[in-house]
Chains A and B, each alone.
Chain A
Amino acid sequence: MSENNLPGVPGVPDVPEAPVARRGMFGAQDSGDTSGFGGLVVRRAPRLSSPRPYGEYFDEVVDTLGMDDAIERVVVDRGELTLHVKRERLVEVARKLRDDPALRFELCLGVSGVHYPDLAGEELHAVYHLCSITHNRRVRLEVSCPDADPHIPSLVGVYPTNNWHERETYDFFGIVFDGHPALTRIMMPDDWDGHPQRKDYPLGGIPVEYRGAEIPPPDQRRSYA
């Protein structure tokens, strides 16, 4: 914990103060604050961008890949390499990662979507984990797209295994993977409205049989901020 009671992020140089993520604690805004925790300010985690050298095999991977104009930033965090890729260059980057003999990331471990409603212009992220069996290495690709234009090129042509994974991410986050052979819902029923894993998806409360009371939905309950 650092002096202003924020979780410390090890190894990150001083950066301009990030926007405020939330204030107060215990989720109570309407009553008098006797604890002093109501004045707590939590800032959003800073955008990481690691300087060289990256360490381990990471420099070699980035150098061999070469395509600096397609990579927005490189993040090395907790011993894992993340390449933030421009979405229009994703297929190209993935193909090179798979085919270059010095890279050979032949196994893709699917897509995981993440919704950051606070990051204007890059609300939706698709995260790909690649594994090289030949060199026993791992790398993570991260692609973002704005909520208003939720399109990311499909990687099914490069990694056929992403077929179901992209359907799942579409189903849960509404990211449209252009070029997917049959982008339909996979978990939710075909006629379902909305994309449940998004942070703005409305959650239901639980009615209680006592004077019409209702347990509020989980995102509106009091909680530790």
Chain B
Amino acid sequence: MTTEATEGKVYSVNGGDWDEVVSEVRDTEEERLVVNMGPQHPSTHGVLRLILTLDGETVTEARSAIGYLHTGIEKNMEYRTWTQGVTFVTRMDYLSPIFNETAYCLAVEKLLGITDRIPERASAIRVMMMELTRISSHLVAMGTFGMELGATTPFLFGYRDREMVMDLMEYITGLRMNMAYIRPGGVSVDLPAGTVDKVGEFLKEMPKRIKDIRKLLDANPVYLRRTQDVAYLDLTGCIALGVTGPILRAAGLPWDLRKSQPYCGYETYEFEVPTQTSCDVYGRYLVRMAEMEESLKIIEQALDRIAGPLKNQPVMIEDKKIGWPAQLALGPDGFGNSPDHIAHIMGSSMEALIHHFKLVTEGFRVPAGQAYAAIESPRGELGAHVVSDGGTRPYRVHFRDPSFTNLQSFPAMAEGGQVADVIAAVASIDPVMGGVDR
């Protein structure tokens, strides 16, 4: 179907009308072609719409349209308690929920002034959970990456291996994703019995699995041709566009907040910050693969502490005004329950009952002010800007999501390149639309 618009003639392809479109296009003088890619397209990682202006096979102009997954999470949080906020932020970047929760909780804890009083065991659990999530997030990134470039096996491998992390998450938190596990003051429940063994098995198995993906892609000639020198973005471009994470490290700068501005005790763990200097898609792939291997090292160290010196330590701050009852266990009815805690609040301590009731209904008050907490998520700097007016609910929460910022660099990577390289560029940014649109 053809319609006249201010931009010129618009040809709509509706399916089954190919002959008609071709015969109409054949007669035009116009060489410029504007293609809408998305908002539903398998290789755009969700509802991302790309608007490409093509001259033959060359992309002369690339723009991205976002907002299709905007759910108003930041606004919603203004009408929930500080603790309930965790349940909202975890849904932002759904491939790395633990990171959203941690960034938010670190900001709230900064506002409360309790950063130094978070139990060490809780911090170690947070670190372990974050690094597990980093692995699962990178596995999805690399798996879909392979599939988008035409290789199905890395996708199957990536998702199969991610399932191991998902199983661990389910075992520890009760949910595969959106688990709201990290809470202001610590974590929601202690690790269930057997976690150390299960994570230990995972640590034994995972290096082999990473090696499998590396065998498929590291030196695969097709993959190399599709990724090397594609979607080039150098250090200057990265900094100007605010790009952080693996893309920045693939441009040669070892900037990792875990090293440079440590939180949750990352300064006490031994690990390397992998970098590449190729500034291209292949470099970003290598950085992510190496990061997974480093994450395994961190998990091992965290697990040693959790099973050793930090055994039987509390996982929630010992402050009755803030600390959520965190000693729940799975009851026979399938819900989290704690007979000891219930006996305590119902049988022996009126004050404990009042605290429990106030915490659950009203929540705690956070002194007025603002704080910014930044952590290194799988995609770069994830920052939470949290403002309090002294009440029981956040006054304003803003997430500086790395996907959102990194996606801005897509035109810089794709313009002047081939259409096929657009897919590689977007895949190497690894945007998660839940985080972009919030």
Residues on A close to B: CB < 8 A?
6-10, 21, 42, 44-45, 48, 77-80, 82, 106-110, 112-115, 127, 129, 131, 133, 136, 138, 140, 159-165, 168, 185-189, 196-197, 218-219, 221, 223-225
Contact A224 B240 (CB under 8 A): no
Stretch at the interface among B195-203, B275-283, B366-374: B366-374
State the Cβ distance, B206 to closest chain A Cβ, in Å.
32
B20 on the interface (CB 8 Å rule)?
Answer: no
User: Which positions 54-70 of chain B face chain A at CB distance < 8 Å?
Assistant: 66-67, 70
B374 and A7 within 8 A (CB): no
Instruction: Tell me whether B75 and A197 are in contact (CB under 8 A).
Output: yes
- Across the two chains, which residue of chain B brings its CB closest to A219? B79
Quick one: given A9-B367, A78-B113, A187-B66, are A133 and B383 in contact (CB under 8 Å)? no
Give the chain A neighbours of B408 by CB distance below 8 A. Answer: 161, 163-164
Rounded to whole Å, the gap between the CB of A131 and the closest CB of chain B is 8
B398 close to A112 (CB less than 8 A):
yes
Question: Given contacts A78-B110, A133-B255, A161-B405, is CB(A7)–CB(B381) below 8 Å?
Answer: no
Within 8 A of A (CB), among B380-438: 381, 383, 385, 387, 389-393, 395-396, 398, 400, 404-405, 407-408, 437-438
Q: Given A112-B400, A218-B79, 15 other A-B contacts at CB below 8 A?
A: A7-B366, A7-B368, A42-B390, A45-B368, A45-B389, A78-B111, A79-B110, A109-B405, A129-B385, A131-B381, A161-B408, A186-B67, A189-B67, A224-B361, A224-B392
Residue of B nearest to A115 (CB): B396
Do B362 and A129 touch (CB < 8 A)?
A: no
Known A45-B368, A164-B404, A164-B408; contact A187-B381, beta-carbon cutoff 8 A: no
Chain B residues closer than 8 Å to A21, beta-carbon distance: 389-390
- Interfacial residues, chain B to chain A (CB-CB below 8 A): 66-67, 70, 72, 74-75, 79, 110-111, 113, 239-244, 253, 255, 260-261, 361-363, 365-372, 374, 381, 383, 385, 387, 389-393, 395-396, 398, 400, 404-405, 407-408, 437-438
Q: How far is the CA of A42 from the CA of B408 in the complex (A)?
A: 43
Partner of B67, one of A78, A79, A162, A187: A187
Which residue on A lies nearest to B361, using beta carbons?
A: A224
- B361 to nearest A CB, angstroms? 8
10 A-B pairs within 8 Å (CB atoms) are namely A8-B367, A10-B113, A45-B390, A78-B113, A115-B396, A131-B381, A161-B243, A164-B408, A188-B67, A223-B393
Number of interchain pairs (Cβ within 8 Å): 124
**Which of chain B's residues have a CB closer than 8 A to the CB of A44?**
389
Quote the shortest CB–CB distance from A47 to chain B (angstroms). 11
What separation, in Å, do the CA atoms of A9 and B366 have in the docked complex? 10
Query: Does A129 lie within 8 Å of B240, measured CB to CB?
Result: no
9 nearest A-B residue pairs (beta carbon): A161-B242, A45-B368, A112-B398, A218-B79, A187-B67, A187-B70, A112-B385, A224-B362, A7-B367
Q: Once the chains bind, are B70 and A110 in contact (CB under 8 Å)?
A: no
Contacts of B66 on A, CB cut-off 8 Å? Answer: 186-187
Q: In the bound complex, how far is the Cα of B261 from the Cα of A10, in angstroms? A: 25
The answer to whether B111 and A159 touch across the interface, beta carbons within 8 angstroms, is no
Q: Tell me whether B389 and A109 are in contact (CB under 8 A).
A: no
Taken together as a complex, chains A and B put the C-alpha atoms of A107 and B372 apart, in Å, by: 15
B369–A110 CB distance below 8 A: no
Q: Which residues of A contact B243 (CB under 8 A)?
A: 161
Within 8 Å CB of A112, what residues of B?
Answer: 385, 396, 398, 400
B260 and A9 within 8 A (CB): no
Name the residue among A6, A106, A112, A162 with the largest chain B CB count within 10 angstroms.
A112
Measured in the bound complex, the distance between the Cα atoms of B438 and A188 in whole Å is: 11
Give Cα distance in the complex from A21 to B368, angstroms: 12
Q: Contact between A160 and B241 (Cβ–Cβ < 8 Å)?
A: yes
Specify which chain B residues have a CB less than 8 angstroms from the CB of A140 in the assembled complex. Answer: 372
Minimum distance in angstroms from B235 CB to a CB of chain A: 10
On whether the beta carbons of B437 and A80 are closer than 8 Å, the reply is: no
Cβ B396 vs Cβ A114 within 8 A:
yes
How far in angstroms is the closest Cβ of chain A from B406? 10
Give the residues in chain B near A42, CB-CB below 8 Å: 390-391
Indicate which residue in B72, B371, B438 contacts A80 across the interface (CB closer than 8 Å).
B371
Residue on A with the closest CB to B396?
A: A114
Report Cα–Cα, A168/B370, bound state, in Å. 20
Q: Which residues of B contact A165 (CB under 8 A)?
A: 405
B72 & A196 in contact (Cβ 8 Å cutoff): yes
